[in-house]
Amino acid sequence: MSLPEGQVRKTPEPSTRSGARTATASLSVRRSERRTRLIQAGRTLMRVTGATEFTVPQVVAEARTSLRAFYENFANKEDLLLAVLAEAVLEATDGLRDATASVRSPEDRLDHYIRQLFNGTFDAEHPETVPMIALHLRLATEQPAALAEAFAPQLDLLTSILADGARRNMFRRDTRPDVLAMLVSQLLVSVVHTEALTRELAVPAVSVDDIVQFCRSAVQAGSRRSSMPVGASPPARAGR
């Protein structure tokens, strides 16, 4: 739209533009903090109740925020639960990365990855494991694409370990590292789920050593597979 003759469009002063940017940044920080509090509240309720059947008002009360703030960040409770799971996966991936970062051999990195995964999952500080697994199983049916996206960081780390081993001719090269990582990951997930959901049942005990040995045998390059020692492990349950 043109201005009347003789008038000049005013350009905002630099201080005005700077102030607007600061206000926008501050608002963004506050929204991020509220979102984080809501996710933490959802996770806390999972720990306390041992389930995911809590309500949105309960989440809001635990986070000490408002319903408006909740719906500014999440479409519904299901959206929050997915965010809780994704946050837990990122946290676990950070632990896996730290556990494998200083290890040079791909074989030992895989060993550390598996042990950290089980130790972290069954740590006493994570009583939300069972409801988190129930959520995982439900999302696998109802929202498989969203579940895959949530677990992508963890799968990417495992893929990098296996790819490094393949480049060094330590791990098999007849299967792509990403496919091999998916197969190993699915095995680990299945064992974790079985261990968590059947601890009170009379099922054969599986030790972390058993799992490490099996996975290493599965990914070893052919020339190295036959020379691997057979581990003698006590029948302790995985994660203990």
Each residue's pLDDT tens digit, 216-226: 999 998 755 54
Q: In whole angstroms, what is the distance from residue 167 CA to residue 106 CA?
A: 10
Return the pLDDT at 204.
65
Q: Is residue 4 part of a domain?
A: no
Q: What is the pLDDT of residues 161-205, one digit of tens each?
A: 999 999 999 999 999 999 999 999 999 999 988 887 776 655 567
| In a shared domain, residues 64 and 135 | no
Confidence of residue 240 (pLDDT cuts 50, 70, 90): very low
Global confidence as pTM: 0.78
| In a shared domain, residues 21 and 41 | yes
Residues 6 or more apart in contact with residue 194 via CB below 8 angstroms: 203, 206
Domain that residue 45 falls in? 14-74
Number of domains in the chain: 2
| In a shared domain, residues 92 and 190 | yes
Range 48-68 average pLDDT: 95
